[in-house]
Structure 1
Amino acid sequence: MDTELHAVVERVRAAAADATPLCIRGGGTKDFYGEAPHGELLDMRALGGITSYEPSELVVTVRAGTPLAELEAVLAEKGQCLPFEPPRFGDGGTVGGMVAAGLSGPARASVGAVRDYVLGATLVNGRAEVLSFGGQVMKNVAGYDVSRVLAGSLGTLGVIAEVSLKVLPVPPAEATLEFACGQADALRLLNEWGGRPLPLNASCWVEHEGVGVLYLRLRGAVAAVEAACAHLGGERKDNARAAADWQSLRDQQLPWFATGEGTNALWRLSVPQTAPVVALDGAAPLIEWHGGQRWYKAAPEQAARIREIAREAGGHATLFRWAGTNPPGANTSGANMAGKVQRFDALSAPVERIHRALMREFDPHGLFNRGRLLAPA
């Protein structure tokens, strides 16, 4: 065991002996996400580095404290990428934080989520044991797939020390098309196009000064992208400018996310792509994932109504963060809301039992990021 990993294990061992909760953190760029973390800081940034990269095998093994920007730069040199476009929300984000948060970017609906690319993981559990799950190829993933359960766990199951990830080549061609249309028409078009053999990769509908605009990104073989552009029409955007806009969407830096500063929270509604227009008071939403992810700005006090509307549409709602008021790494706990509102929607009783059972098994002493996902039982 190397020095950096040994230091993490000993820190967990001491915390278990003293019953001291730990707050696992990499770059802190996603501290705003989920309930407020508690405990002594366990900084993971010393546990960094790419331990194995086989471009021909499309797999990379990375330590949790490795900066996400560093990994993406190494992949780019070989013409490869993380296709799910993990949001960064600022400088300093780490690979461990990427997996723990489980958040994906604009291409998620077409290429899959973070968990779909996690092949294996090394974890330090609440007993200070170093456990390895999965492997470096898909066929090694058998039985209960713990490595993928870590995606979105927000550190509640243990300290992610290392992960093996599937990567993909950068597509040879890309194009972004723009269409002027209202929200209902955009959803109809996206559903219609989704049933055709088109190289759809990402979409975004947003209003500019009261005018609705749908952006559609195509990626794939040159012939497929060019044929789709000719078939779909719309206004083709300059690739360089469009790439900057998609990057801004990925990191929530578009102007839409900054409006309503100081007055509203940012809500994420996850609904079926075929769900109709979901009407909420106030400004029109920003819609991604071909209709499956819809962002709204509304006061936290509207939580009950928002979540009821999301359930009626067949989905759920998350109080993601305050829109435009908190810099990356800031902690927006319920203490500075007008009334305490749970960040995540309530789970069904069977699912909650599974969550709590997993947490007890991996973290019997309740050391890690306590309360980040679920309120204390």
Structure 2
Amino acid sequence: MSAPLQRLVDAVRDAADRRRPLRIVGGGTKDFYGGELRGEALDVKPLAGISAYEPTELVVTVRAGTPLAELEAALAEKGQCLPFEPPHYAEGSTVGGMVAAGLSGPARAAVGGVRDYLLGATIVNGRGETLSFGGQVMKNVAGYDVSRALAGSMGQLGVICEVSMKVLPVAPGRATLRFDMDQANALRHANEWAGQALPLSASAWWDGALLLRLQGAQAAVASAAQRLGGERIPNELADGFWTGLRDQHDEYFDHAAAAVASGSRLWRLSVAATAPRIELRGEQLVEWGGAQRWLVSDEPPARVRQAAADALGHATVWRGDKAGGAFHPLPPVQARLQRALKAAFDPFQLFNPGRLGETE
């Protein structure tokens, strides 16, 4: 066992003996996400570095404290990437935080999310035990896939120490097209195109404009771009837009930040892609072919959450007042299952108390 891992295990065992809550700390770039932060800081950044990388096998094993930018740079040298485009939000984002938050960028609807690329993981549980799950190939799980359960767990199940992930080659061709249309037409077109043999990798609608990104073989991208029409955006400009959207540095989120400062909330709505426009007061941005919708609004939380439920989804307070809870209330059965899973891995309720609200 390495010295940084031993120190972490010792800290968890000491906290367990004293029943003292711990707040798992990485880069801190997602501290705004979810519920309150409580407990003594447990820094995982010393657990850093790429443990193993097999480009020909499309598999990388990396420690949790590794900066996400460092991992992406190492993959880029081999022409590979994390296809789900994990958000950074700010400098210092780590691999462990990427997994714990379970968030994905513009390509989520086309390629899947974080959990879909997790092959294995090592964690320290609430008793200070080091546990490993999964492995380094896709077909390696019999029974419950614990490594994938870590995605989006917000550190509630244990301290993520190391993960193995599948990576993919960078697509050789890409193009971004712009179409002027209202939200209703954008949703209709996005759903129609999603059912066709097109190399779609991302979409975003805001303020009367739909942007569509194509990625894949150069011939397929060129053919699709010619077939769809629209205005071709230069790749350099388009790349900046998609990165800004991923990290929420673009114009919409600047508007949202100003509104939140004045008392509104920024909501993240995960709904059925085929749901029509959600009729709520405020400004909306639509991603993932309609499946992810951002809303900055002063609407009451109950009204926003009911609208999301009517669209077969749920709503999360992303920024702003979270007094009523950040996350959409879970159905009783699901909440009970999550509490049982938490108790199995963290019997003394040490890790990140408050981050997931009612599931704890």
- Interval containing the TM-score (normalised by the shorter chain): over 0.9
Match of 2:18 in 1: 18
1:219 pairs with 2:215: yes
Match of 2:239 in 1: 243
| Aligned partner of 2:341 among 334, 338, 358 | 358
- Cα distance in 1 for residues equivalent to 2:339 and 2:243: 36
State the Cα distance separating 1:347 from its structure 2 match. Answer: 0.3
**Equivalent runs, 1:291-302 vs 2, <5 Å:** 291-299=290-298, 302=300
Match of 1:231 in 2: 227
State the Cα distance separating 1:108 from its structure 2 match. Answer: 0.1
Partner letter of residue 124 of structure 2?
V
State the Cα distance separating 1:282 from its structure 2 match. Answer: 2.4
State the Cα distance separating 1:375 from its structure 2 match. Answer: 3.2
Q: Which runs of 5+ in 2 are unaligned?
A: none
**Equivalent runs, 1:1-377 vs 2, <5 Å:** 1-207=1-207, 212-260=208-256, 261=258, 262-263=261-262, 264-283=264-283, 285-299=284-298, 302-322=300-320, 337=321, 340-375=323-358
- Cα distance in 1 for residues equivalent to 2:249 and 2:329: 29
SS of alignment partner, residue 320 of structure 1: strand
Q: Deviation string for 1:275-312 (max 9, x for gaps)? A: 001011122x100000000000023x610000011111
State the Cα distance separating 1:141 from its structure 2 match. Answer: 2.4
- Cα distance in 1 for residues equivalent to 2:346 and 2:100: 15
State the Cα distance separating 1:376 from its structure 2 match. Answer: 7.3
- Cα distance in 1 for residues equivalent to 2:113 and 2:359: 28
Q: Deviation string for 1:5-28 (max 9, x for gaps)? A: 001100000000011100001000
The percentage of counterpart residues that share the same residue type is: 60
- Cα distance in 1 for residues equivalent to 2:132 and 2:357: 25
Matched-pair contact (CA < 8 Å) for 2:336–2:359:
no
Task: Report the TM-score when normalising by structure 2.
Answer: 0.97
State the Cα distance separating 1:139 from its structure 2 match. Answer: 1.5
State the Cα distance separating 1:265 from its structure 2 match. Answer: 1.6
Partner letter of residue 197 of structure 1?
A
SS of alignment partner, residue 139 of structure 1: coil
- Cα distance in 1 for residues equivalent to 2:13 and 2:279: 50
Partner letter of residue 27 of structure 1?
G
- Cα distance in 2 for residues equivalent to 1:109 and 1:345: 21
- Cα distance in 1 for residues equivalent to 2:141 and 2:317: 33
- Cα distance in 2 for residues equivalent to 1:47 and 1:103: 21
- Cα distance in 1 for residues equivalent to 2:213 and 2:325: 34
Give runs of ≥4 in structure 1 deviating > 2 Å. 374-377
Task: Report the TM-score when normalising by structure 1.
Answer: 0.93
State the Cα distance separating 1:59 from its structure 2 match. Answer: 0.3
Partner letter of residue 206 of structure 1?
W
Q: Deviation string for 1:298-345 (max 9, x for gaps)? A: 23x6100000111111111000113xxxxxxxxxxxxxx3x8221000
Aligned length: 356
SS of alignment partner, residue 239 of structure 2: helix
Partner letter of residue 357 of structure 1?
A
RMSD, aligned α-carbons: 1.0
Partner letter of residue 312 of structure 1?
D
